[in-house]
Amino acid sequence: MRRISLDSVDSTNLYCKTLLSAREDVAVTAAIQTGGRGTKGRSFLSEAGGLYLSVLNFYNGVPAASVHDVMVRAAVAVCRTAEELGADVEIKWPNDILAGEARRKLCGILVESGIRGKKLDYTIAGIGLNVKNDISRLGGIATSIHLETGNSYDVAETAERLLAHFAEEADFAYYKAHMRFLGKPVRVTEGEETYVAVAADVLEDGRLVIDRGGRMRALSSGEIAIILEGA
């Protein structure tokens, strides 16, 4: 896989989109992002000392539903990397990695895809991992590898470690085991309604099963948003 390392870019995901015509798998990293994005268009603070990485992959004959495997691979890669560096992590459905007893955000993941018919054409897996960047402006909602472990790791070496794990097969059992909120109450926002339900399960297609007073429903991240009770 070709590697591209940039000093600064608006967004590594957006940069990958400029490379689509080449039909070549590539990993892009940037020292800083000036327009980092999370899910639903939210901004993502991307200052020096963080790991900002996007991986562009192309596919041939893979069902479109397999896009969730890419999210699983990305989340598992981040968790395994963070654990090897000494951080205690968990996954908040669908795409945030939390760390420590306070369950602060350590990493955000944004997977974008191109579909042709019913087949997956390409995916761009964007990962923003706080390694040793200054996150004090975020008001205590985020954390970093440095804050969790007391160690200042090299960002480039962390990227190589993460990419090695991302190249592994999707490990859904590991992914699900790190969703430690399963079986616990969550606040669910569905349209204009907010209610408390139990997060019962996560299906292999990415949907979250909630138990609302004995009524089980499987919902996608596009349909609902959740907040962990006590968070």
What is the tens place of the pLDDT at every residue in 98-122? 999 999 999 999 999 999 999 999 9
| 85 contacts: CB under 8 Å, gap ≥ 6 | 145, 149, 151, 153, 158
Residue whose pair of structure tokens reads 């908040």 in the numeric block: 92
97 and 139 part of one domain: yes
144 and 189 part of one domain: no
- Could you list the mean pLDDT of each consecutive 10-residue stretch along the chain, which spans 231 residues? 96 97 98 74 73 97 94 97 98 94 94 95 97 88 96 97 97 96 96 96 95 96 87 57
* Three-class DSSP category at 182: coil
Q: Cα dist. 121→56, 61, 80, 194 in Å? A: 11, 8, 27, 36
- In this predicted structure, what is the pLDDT of residue 47? 87
Structural domain that includes position 205: 185-228
Q: Return the CATH number at 192.
A: 2.30.30.100
- In this predicted structure, what is the pLDDT of residue 37? 62
> Could you give the number of structural domains in the chain?
2
86 and 69 part of one domain: yes
For residues 136 and 130, the answer to whether their CB atoms sit within 8 Å is no
